[in-house]
Amino acid sequence: MIIPKPLPANRDAAPVPADADAARRIADLEQQVAKLTRINQSLMDRVERHVDGQGSAFSLFQTAISLENQVRSRTRSLEEALVDLEQSYQEAAMAREQAETARLRLFTAIEAVSGGFALFDADDRLVLFNQDYLSFWPGMAGDVHPGMSFSDMVHLAVQRKSVMDAYRDPDGWVRRRLRQHADCQGPTVHALSDGRWMQINEKRTNDGGVVAIYTDITALKRRETQQWKAALAQKSTLLQATLDNIFQGVAVYDAQLALVAWNNEFVRLLDLTPRCVRRGAVFADFQRFNDGLLAHGISEPRFLDPQNNPLPLRLEQTWFNGRVLDIERNPMPDGGFVLTFTDITERKRNEEALRDSERRIRLVTDAMPALIAYADADERYQFVNAPYRQWLHRPETAILGRRMRSVLAPAFYERSRAYIRQALAGQIVSFEVELTPTGDPDNLAEPRYAHVTFVPHIGLPHADQDRVILGLFTLMQDVTERRRADAAIKEANETLERRVTERTAALTALNGQLQQEIAERREVERALQSAKVEAEQANLSKTKFLAAASHDLLQPLNSARLFVSALAELEHTRKNRSLIDNIDVSLGAVEGLLDALLDISKLDAGAVSPEIVDFPIGSLLGPLSTEHQVLAQEQGLALRYVPSRAVVRSDIRLLRSIVQNFLSNAVRYTQRGGVLLGCRRRGDTLRIEVWDSGPGIPADQLDEIFKEFHQLHRGPMLGSPTGNSTKGEGRTRTTGRGMGLGLAIVRRVAKVLDVTVETRSMVGRGSIFSVAVPLGTMTASAVARRVTGEGNARPLDGTLVLVLDDEPSALMGMQALLSTWGCEAAVASTGEEALEVLGRLPRPPDALIADFHLGDGHTGPDEVTRLRQVIAAGTGLAPPAIIVTADHTPEVEAQVKQHQYWMLKKPLNPAQLRALLSSMLG
């Protein structure tokens, strides 16, 4: 806005306070002079006209003398008044000159202000402004003038379309701008119609007015936009690279069913044409491609109708190229969906081969004239042949999975129990026993006898013991005929030698046949044992491969998580923010899957050793209840926790995994009602129970839920077909489902801890999951270990952090993330490079962050120790350090604890890293 030109002192310019006093004094003096002049003139006239009655000249002279004295006195007074008047005029002129000088200096200073300047009085009317102020109002510069109210200026800006922010909602923008002007709270940024950006800083003056500074930040906004686009392009490249390195085929369609992302495996698995996988392709192109599959005899896949079929969806489909695909369709928050294709052809072939092998083995065993069974180390039946089932007169479903004590007749089991224990101790035992067709001692049928052999099943040895007994094989041969033959031979021997000879020959032939049958059965037994050993070796190889693959995938996933977290700290549009949130959710899902797979692989490989201590159960259940309160509230559920002061003896970390999975499943599958967490004492154990009011689990599925990747449809899916959540009744409910690994981990952890996990459920009423833990006594070891350091956290602005990692992507991600928190990040890939960087830094770093595994056999703790020694030698103080690792083995954790450094596991949780840095530096 334009600053008014200074006006002359005798014109319309309003006088300053000094000019007003002088003018008033001058007016009083002029009035006194005029009065004295009139008095003097009246006296002179009177003297000239006055003559006394006698006409005396002396009298006239005396009168003249008197008048002269009076005139002199009045003249002196008049002269003094004129002197005062002249002095007042000089003071007034000096005051006007000073005021004018100050006014000119103020105008010059305002014009010299960088950017626009405007001053409003207490009535929000424009008083002063400079030329740059007008440049911030395109199309209305000529209409801005002093005395104009701020409200008129805002409405004029809307009418002239000077501000882009006011295009969509003019009235709303006017209200917001008037409120911002009245509150003077911080800077505001606005986009102008000519493509520029301005920042407004307003401050209230002492007299109630407002001073406003307008700054052109167009160049800054353009740089930010360019940096954001570059970062987004880099993230897109990293995301595409991540998708291309996933062994599954992935395709992402948005709310308009347009293809927005895919990977090479998607094209390879489905043998798609270029028309289906190109920029601008839509789901209809995919559908037209699948219309041609009908000629190959392929049924129409259900995932091709996302608008009529509910989301999410999972199915198996045999493709025209012979591949068997596991297809998943999951919704996205913006209305689109993600298709995932997994090639399970080899797994299906292996399953079919295993089933065929089992059929062949069962065919052989069912045809053998012997009773064959196999039980595990817990004396639970895992296999029985047809003669064994016929002897028990029970179906296979009533035998498998049940203990021998509950299946066999009590008398028969008591007779065999000692031999069973010897077999489970590693001895091959044989004995003869009387048996009946039903095992009932009251059966009046003629008794029969069997030769029973228990053969231990010896598995692969562990490091701390010679061998492992996995179970026992049971071979029962009916020897009733042999006994009868013995009796007949004895009877014939008493009567006739010839009959003895004949019976002996017959017995010899029968014995040879039996020996041959035993040899054949032993051969079958060896084949079964060999197949079992091969299966266990294959399972162990799978477990080791899964652990290594999960560990290697954590490295790029950690970098991606850092980049996404750094990108999320920046300002974005709503659409881009949704994309970033989707990426973060997807990375979180991959992270959870990898963590679960890694946990299962470690448990299967026997790499988890429990750390048994006594601790109060409240230190475990209290934090778990707090963590799940927010999730339960989002589900509209009531999560109630009944505290307990009991002390248990177990591994707090592994026990937490069991209870956490119970709580997560209860909150996830419960639609209405609530969840209860509490404990019950049962003798020398404490039963930790989680009750829910969910849909319940059928009785025939209670064992199935503990298998890997097994999920039950526990009630209708919550939410709409096209979204992750639905809003109603004042709350939002999520529709997420787990990966089917939680309870599989629970079963393995329970086996490691040697605790009992039980499940009770009633369809339509709810379920109860419980674990029984031994009671303990409070000792010093029961004190809860602190996860984070104590002390007051402080902001991270200006914090100098030295990062050491041999992965360039991890360094870039960590540097980007730390910079969004206001930190200064110095990076190095080796210890020697870190020493060089340390020498160039203006001051010692406040904290050190290092990866555990560095190149050339170096480790993070060793390099950090060397850096801290160098820093301590110069400053006397060593900064704290954090070790980041994707290796979750106890050996790595023990080595980090030995150096007394903090440890975070990959992929990093940015919030956890930020909280730890703030706590350490507090």
DSSP at 330:
E
CA pseudo-torsion sign 633, 637, 643, 648:
negative
Going from the C-alpha of 609 to that of each of 437, 596, 603, 604, 835, the distances in angstroms are 47, 17, 9, 12, 38
The predicted-structure confidence for 127-162, as pLDDT tens digits, reads as follows 888 877 777 777 777 788 888 888 888 888 888 888
Amino acid 255: pLDDT: 82
Domain boundaries, the chain: 17-112, 116-216, 247-343, 354-478, 608-782, 800-920
Between CA 606 and CA 464 the distance in angstroms is 12
Residue 231 clears pLDDT 60, i.e. is over it: yes
Between CA 116 and CA 65 the distance in angstroms is 75
Among 370, 389, 387, 386, CA closest to 517: 370
Amino acid 358: pLDDT: 76
Provide mean pLDDT across the span 606-611.
69
CATH architecture of 800-920: 3-Layer(aba) Sandwich (3.40)
773 band by pLDDT with thresholds 50, 70 and 90: very high
Of 609-623, 714-728, 856-870, where does mean pLDDT reach its minimum?
A: 714-728
Sequence-ordered strand ranges (E) for 377-444: 381-384, 429-435
The predicted-structure confidence for 845-869, as pLDDT tens digits, reads as follows 989 999 888 878 888 899 889 888 8
Q: Which residues contact 436 (CB under 8 A, 6 or more apart)?
A: 443, 445, 447, 448
For all residues of the chain together, what is the average pLDDT? Answer: 77
Note whether 116-216 and 800-920 share their fold.
no
Amino acid 690: pLDDT: 92
The predicted-structure confidence for 447-463, as pLDDT tens digits, reads as follows 778 889 999 988 766 55
Residue 733 clears pLDDT 50, i.e. is over it: no
Residue 3 clears pLDDT 50, i.e. is over it: no
Among 579, 557, 559, CA closest to 568: 579
Residue 531 clears pLDDT 80, i.e. is over it: no
**Chain centroid to CA 717:** 23
Amino acid 565: pLDDT: 66
Of 19-23, 203-207, 809-813, where does mean pLDDT reach its minimum?
A: 19-23
SS3 of residue 436 by DSSP: coil
Are 338 and 332 within 8 A, CB to CB? yes
Q: Which helix (H) or strand (E) holds 508?
A: helix 497-568
Q: Which amino acid is at 898?
A: Q
Radius of gyration over every alpha carbon of the chain, rounded to an integer in angstroms? 48
Percent of all residues in the chain with a pLDDT value above 70, rounded to a whole number: 76
881 has which bridge partners?
848
Between CA 83 and CA 765 the distance in angstroms is 110
Between CA 363 and CA 371 the distance in angstroms is 13
The predicted-structure confidence for 404-446, as pLDDT tens digits, reads as follows 888 888 888 888 889 999 988 888 998 888 776 544 444 445 6
CATH architecture of 354-478: 2-Layer Sandwich (3.30)
Residue 293 clears pLDDT 50, i.e. is over it: yes
Which of the listed CATH numbers 3.30.930.10, 1.10.1200.10, 3.40.640.10, 3.30.565.10 matches domain 608-782?
A: 3.30.565.10
Amino acid 694: pLDDT: 85
Among 656, 692, 652, 686, CA closest to 673: 692
The predicted-structure confidence for 557-594, as pLDDT tens digits, reads as follows 666 666 666 666 666 676 676 666 667 656 655 665 55
753 band by pLDDT with thresholds 50, 70 and 90: confident
SS3 of residue 546 by DSSP: helix
State the SS3 of 255-308: CCCEEEEECHHHHHHHCCCCCCCCCCCEHHHHHHHHHHHHHHCCCCCHHHCCCC
- Token pair recorded at residue 283: 């789901």
Indicate the burial class of 14 (C-beta count within 10 angstroms; 0-12, 13-18, 19 or more).
exposed
Provide mean pLDDT across the span 94-102.
76
Provide mean pLDDT across the span 639-666.
87
Of 117-126, 407-416, 603-612, where does mean pLDDT reach its minimum?
A: 603-612
731 band by pLDDT with thresholds 50, 70 and 90: very low
Q: Which amino acid is at 884?
A: V
Percent of all residues in the chain with a pLDDT value above 90, rounded to a whole number: 5
840 or 42, greater pLDDT:
840
Structural fold of domain 116-216 = Beta-Lactamase (3.30.450)
CA atoms within 13 A on the CB side of 405: 5
678 band by pLDDT with thresholds 50, 70 and 90: very high
Amino acid 849: pLDDT: 92
Are 900 and 883 within 8 A, CB to CB? no
Between CA 826 and CA 417 the distance in angstroms is 70
719 band by pLDDT with thresholds 50, 70 and 90: very low
Are 849 and 868 within 8 A, CB to CB? no
Between CA 582 and CA 239 the distance in angstroms is 12
SS3 of residue 459 by DSSP: strand
Amino acid 591: pLDDT: 61
Between CA 679 and CA 687 the distance in angstroms is 5
In the β-sheet with 824-828, what is the strand arrangement from edge to edge? 824-828, 800-804, 847-851, 881-885, 902-905
469 has which bridge partners?
458
The predicted-structure confidence for 464-516, as pLDDT tens digits, reads as follows 556 788 898 998 888 887 877 777 777 766 776 666 677 788 888 888 888 88
Q: Which amino acid is at 69?
A: N
Provide mean pLDDT across the span 71-93.
79
**Chain centroid to CA 750:** 27
Among 349, 324, 216, 350, CA closest to 269: 324
The predicted-structure confidence for 790-804, as pLDDT tens digits, reads as follows 444 457 888 889 999
Residue 788 clears pLDDT 50, i.e. is over it: no
Amino acid 331: pLDDT: 86
Q: Length of the chain in residues, anyone?
A: 922
- The helix-helix angle for 860-875 and 831-840 (nearest 10°) equals 30
Amino acid 735: pLDDT: 40
Amino acid 721: pLDDT: 31
- Token pair recorded at residue 387: 């003669």
Between CA 790 and CA 810 the distance in angstroms is 28
Complete DSSP assignment for 565-609: HHHHTS---HHHHHHHHHHHHHHHHHHHHHHHHHHHHHHHTT---
CA pseudo-torsion sign 122, 124, 125, 126:
positive
CB atoms within 10 A of CB 601: 20
Going from the C-alpha of 232 to that of each of 253, 565, 572, 577, the distances in angstroms are 19, 12, 11, 11
Residue 12 clears pLDDT 50, i.e. is over it: no
Phi first, then psi, for residue 650 (nearest 5°) are -170, -175
CATH architecture of 247-343: 2-Layer Sandwich (3.30)
Between CA 796 and CA 838 the distance in angstroms is 20
Residue 673 clears pLDDT 90, i.e. is over it: no
Indicate the burial class of 856 (C-beta count within 10 angstroms; 0-12, 13-18, 19 or more).
exposed
- Token pair recorded at residue 30: 């002029």
State the SS3 of 601-619: HHHHCCCCCCCCEEEECHH
